[in-house]
Amino acid sequence: MRAVLFLLSYLLNQVIFAFQKRLQKELLALQSDPPPGMTLNERSVQNTITEWFIDMEGAPGTLYEGEKFQLLFKFSGRYPFDSPQVMFTGENIPIHPHVYSNGHICLSILTEDWSPALSVQSVCLSIISMLSSCKEKQRPPDNSFYVKTCNKNPKKTKWWYHDDTC
């Protein structure tokens, strides 16, 4: 019995070490080579490595050019096997057909299309691409209902991907 407990404790420590190592690697990558228009808010990672704020500026030549947004990434202990919780936060939430007014983002790689091969940078690039391809600023048709009835954690939502742009 003692040997089994020791083995379980050892394996748990290995998982925690791998989780921390992966996040530290991604943090360094984001600091040294951030996606265009994105900047890690350094203060957000001073106290915890599991919650990151990333400042974002709308890409040149798009409907969001010059606008400033903020993304919140929250990582569970199952990352990278489980996707991060990602949402827009702050006072300026982009008006976009796949972004709800509470900051939740309807993007398949944040849920069912997530893979451990993806990273914070790939999520950021997907969000840049999603915003950059927008033709008209508008909220999702079910925004009011969704915001009133949704869970605070967007990962608890069963998303319905009704087009190929999310």
| Pair of tokens at residue 83 | 């996707």
Residues serving a catalytic function are 106
Question: At which residue do the structure tokens 């290995």 appear?
Answer: 14
Number of helices followed by number of strands (H, E) in the chain: 3, 4
Taking the alpha carbons of 146, 151, 155, 157 in that order, is the dihedral positive or negative? negative
Phi, psi for residue 104 in degrees, rounded to 5 = -65, 140
Q: Which amino acid is at 153?
A: N
Q: Is 104 exposed, middle or buried (0-12, 13-18, 19+ CB in 10 A)?
A: buried
